[in-house]
Amino acid sequence: MNIQDLLLDYNLELLDLNNFIINALLAALLAWILSAYYRRYGQSVSNRSHFAGNFMLLALSTMLIIYIVKSSIALSLGLVGALSIVRFRAAIKEPEELTFLFLVIGIGLGMGANQTAITLIAFVLILSLLYIQARYRRSKAFDLDNQMVLNVSSDVLSEKQINDILKAQFNNIELRRMSQNNGKLYMSYVIAAENFDQLSEVKSSILSLDANGEFSFVDNKNMIG
């Protein structure tokens, strides 16, 4: 191999490295934008800030894996073997969380495969559609500034009784989660509270029917801060 071939190989490797750095920065930027969007407009009851904090790491990790194995069949087969040994188990509580994870992985896949333009166009298009959907949902729903998350658990009250108590105080309620374990009912709502008296009335009504009932109010802005 002569000097010219060595210089050509060096230039190709340098160009490949530059592309990797640029794509990695773009992947990090897109993941950060998506995490900011999810914190602001996500509908999950769980802590969105904590969940969205994983987006950038997931996107960059996916990009690194794809970038390494994309040009080698042997490495691709090795990746399949490694993933069959290492199993990831995440507690995905709501479909929305899984959807955003797929989008983050898609960012990593696109950048890792050096499909920069397609990835950027798809990201802008998807996020624009999500934003329009979120704005439309907000116009049809109640004021987000007054939203609170209400968690109720009781082994005495029924679903209908809890719903009736809430409907007596709030004009808008949304049931987000319901489960029952060992005879105890757990329910999570998003409510629009206008004043503290409404919360106090709900508390009194629940305790009057179930002295051992448990409940909590969480300001929705604290869920995304």
Domains of the chain: 3-140 (no CATH), 144-224 (3.30.70.260)
Burial of 29 (0-12, 13-18, 19+ CB in 10 A): middle
Task: Indicate left, alpha or beta for 154 from its phi (over 0: left) and psi (-120 to 50: alpha).
Answer: beta
CA distance 48 to 2: 57
Closest-CA residue to 116 (of 8, 12, 29) = 29
* Residue 85 main-chain phi, psi, to 5 deg: -95, -45
Higher per-residue pLDDT: 188 or 183:
188
What does the pLDDT look like over 32-48, one tens digit per residue? 999 999 988 877 656 77
The mean-pLDDT minimum among 13-22, 67-76, 124-133 falls in 67-76
Q: Please tell me the number of Cα atoms within 13 Å of 188 on its side-chain side.
A: 13
Tell me the sheet residues that pair with 218: 149
pTM: 0.57
The mean-pLDDT minimum among 77-81, 123-127, 164-168, 170-174 falls in 77-81
- Cβ atoms of 176 and 191 within 8 Å: the answer is no
What does the pLDDT look like over 109-161, one tens digit per residue? 899 888 889 999 999 999 999 888 877 766 555 444 557 788 888 887 888 88
